[in-house]
Structure formats: C-alpha cells, structure tokens
Structure 1
Amino acid sequence: MTPKIAIVYYSTYGTNHQMAQVAAEAAEAAGAEVRLRRIRETAPKEVVEGQDAWKHQLESMQDIPEVTVEDMEWADGYFFSAPTRYGTVASQMRAFIDTLGPLWMKGGLADKTFTATTSAQNPHGGQETTLQGLYITAAHWGAVSVPPGYTNQVLFEAGGNPYGYSATAGQFDDKGRAAVRHQSERLVEMTRRIVAGRAEQRQAA
C-alpha cells in the first residue's frame, strides 16, 4: 500500500521549512506519496517586510503550494511543523486549523495519523506544550497520534523529546535531521499499516 502523507508547515525564518523538507524527503524514500504544503502567512505585510529575514524566507517559499482543505482530505497521515509562540503553536498554523471545521464535522480528519515537530528560540521555550497542544487538536479530530517516543537512539542524541523533534531556532543540525527522518519514516510505517488494514476490511466485506 502507498500511504498519502501531507507535510504541513509554517516557517518564519526557515528552521521549520528545513525540517519539513527533510520530513518530505524521508517520507518519499519510505514509499509514501507526499504533498509538501506551507501555511499561508497571515501577518500584516508591513510587519513581514519590516524584517529582512522574515521577508526573505517568505519569498524563498513561493514555489511551495499553500495548504488547502483538499490536501487534508486527500492525506492518510499528517506531519505538522511550526514554531512555538508563547508556549503554543504559531497563530498562522492555528488560523489554518480553524478552517477545518466542515471537514472535521463530516469525519474527514478521523483515523488519519498525526505527528508534529516544532522549534523555539531556546531549549526550554515551550516546545513540549506546543507539541502537546497539537496532539490535543489531533485527538479532537479522531486522528491517531504517532509521536516518536524513544524508538531510536538518535532521539536521545537530538534532545530527547518523546513528543516530536524540537529544534532551537536556526540550529537544525545533522542529529536533528536524523531525528526528523526517523519521525517521518515512523509516521509512514504506521500509516501504511492502517491503510492496509482498511483495505483488508473492505475486501473481507
């Protein structure tokens, strides 16, 4: 079975963009059909253009499509990545999540797999609460959470967060890349098992 994975990210300065790219490459290498999608920027234009690094990052992502509700309906599993803001996920990500009500009401988010990564300015900047908040949202969808836990030694070497890899902004290193690859591969494998199980049920019926 070929699981369909949506890699959905928001990035202000580039860290989560890099993490999403690594996740997408790993998912494709693991045999998934992948859509890499970015969250639409909702900050005022004058605010974005007032910071050169923010403006440059937004310009550098113009070739990546913005995520749509259709992408969420298409996917069998989700890999979300966005920075921490005051102990929760960036408002741009929350704004997109808040558009998913109609899809949620018809069950279009249920039984999909879900994992998440994040970043913050410092090692104790709210990463765990951000990831837990995203998993709580996934629980409301009826999604199947797939945190990395401690399923690979690299997770200890890359910070030891069992909820999902978390980077210090601007410091996405080789150990972090290995952790994201593992998390993405794990998502693909768990999604493949669920998709295969559904197919067997349909055949048995």
Structure 2
Amino acid sequence: MSESPINVAVVYYSATGTVFELAKAAATAAEKTGAQVRLRKVAELAPAQAIASNAGWSAHAAATQHIVEAAPADLEWADVILLGAPTRFGLPAAQLKQFIDTTGPLWAQGKLVDKVASSFTATATTHGGQESTILALNNTFYHWGAIIVPPGYADPIQFRMGNPYGTSHISNNGDVSPGEVELAAIEFQTRRTVAIAQALQLGRAAI
C-alpha cells in the first residue's frame, strides 16, 4: 500500500509579522517533505483603531489579507498541527486562544486524538515568556489527546537555537525579524514533526 501524503495545518497569529515569518517557513518546510499544507491565520480580535495606531501592525494586516482564516475543519483535515503565536504576559496571544476555544466540538467527538502537534512563539524581549507560552499551547494538545513532538536537541541547529520546547524568536518589539538560526530551527522542527506523523501512518498501515 502506498503512503498517503501527510496533511499539515500551520495555524498562527501574528500582529507585526514575526510569527508569520516563522509560520511561512514552517509551511515551506512541510511542503518540501511532500506534505499537503494549509497556512492559516486566526481571526483578529483587536479593534481597527488599535491596529491603525501601530504602523507595523496595520502594515502586516494589510500585507496578509490574502491568508485564509483558520477554521476547525482545518484541524480535522490535518495529520500534523503546528500552532504559533506571540506571547502575551507569558501566555499565547488571545487571538490564537480564541480559535483554540472553538475546537470543543471536535474534541468532544474525539477528532483531535492522535494528531501530531508542535508549537512555536516569539517574544519582544529576552526571557519574555517563550517557554511558558509553548508549554501553555502544549496544554491544549494534552487535552486533545494529540502527540506532542518537541524539537529537543535532536539536530545541531538546536544547540544554536537553545530552545528544546519549540522554535522561539526575540523580536525586540518587532524591530528584528527571524534570522538564519530561527528559520533553520523551525524548518527542523517541522521536518521532525512530519517525520513522526509519517512513522505513525506507516505503523497503522502495518497493523
């Protein structure tokens, strides 16, 4: 029996574009593995006045109008789910949390069990809540019954990245975009997550 392509949903929230750059890199890395990929942003909750008051925020909102908004159906379709959000006081941004809160019906039907999942983030400052944000996202995966795949130190890039929980970036309040190390780290994290999903698929086929 031939192996079916892995379906990957990269679902993210980004205000000024930092997490979007990581999400795009994750989507590209997944496509390189032969996976079918959906790159999805979650709905914006902030009022238009707040967005307009920040040049970076408004510019990013305009530049990503073409990105399709995430729906629970994207998670049901996916074999692999990658969630990304900036931190807000050590927790995922409310926009992504609101989307997570819409997954109750899928959870109740057991349709998120055994999804292969991983997460990534960005903060404005060093020690700004990177690990706690990823751990908070992973709490969702526990409730879903998903299989969490951390990058660990399973590749040399991780010793440069320094975060075994998931790719993270320090944006310096939005002034610094993800660099070579961060982009290589999210690529590795994505490839590792897809590889685990492929192994599970082969294992199920063999049963």
Letter paired with 1:176? E
**Separation in 2 of the partners of 1:184 and 1:145?**
12
Q: Is 1:178 the counterpart of 2:180 in the alignment? A: no
Given the alignment, which residue of 46, 51, 56 partners 1:53?
Answer: 56
Q: Is 1:187 the counterpart of 2:189 in the alignment? A: no
Local SS of the residue matching 2:102? coil
Q: Is 1:90 the counterpart of 2:96 in the alignment? A: no
**Partner in structure 2 of residue 163 of structure 1:** 165
**Separation in 2 of the partners of 1:20 and 1:49?**
23
TM-score, length of structure 1 as denominator length = 0.95
Cα shift readout 1:15-68 (whole Å, capped 9, x = no counterpart): 110000100000110121111111110111111112121111111111110000
Cα shift readout 1:98-127 (whole Å, capped 9, x = no counterpart): 000001000111100000110001120000
Paired residue total: 200
Local SS of the residue matching 1:48? helix
Gaps of 5+ in 2: none
Letter paired with 1:163? Y
Local SS of the residue matching 2:139? helix
Local SS of the residue matching 1:167? strand
TM-score, length of structure 2 as denominator length = 0.94
**Separation in 2 of the partners of 1:29 and 1:63?**
22
Assess if the C-alpha contact under 8 Å between 1:76 and 1:195 holds in 2: no
Q: Is 1:198 the counterpart of 2:190 in the alignment? A: no
**Separation in 2 of the partners of 1:15 and 1:50?**
18
Local SS of the residue matching 1:122? coil
**Separation in 1 of the partners of 2:151 and 2:45?**
30
**Separation in 1 of the partners of 2:40 and 2:101?**
17
Seq. identity, %: 41
Letter paired with 1:53? G
**Partner in structure 2 of residue 113 of structure 1:** 116
Q: CA deviation at 1:171?
A: 3.6
**Separation in 2 of the partners of 1:35 and 1:25?**
10
Q: CA deviation at 1:194?
A: 1.3
**Partner in structure 1 of residue 144 of structure 2:** 141
**Separation in 2 of the partners of 1:181 and 1:31?**
14
**Separation in 2 of the partners of 1:145 and 1:8?**
16
**Separation in 2 of the partners of 1:164 and 1:172?**
14
**Separation in 2 of the partners of 1:101 and 1:71?**
14
Gaps of 5+ in 1: none
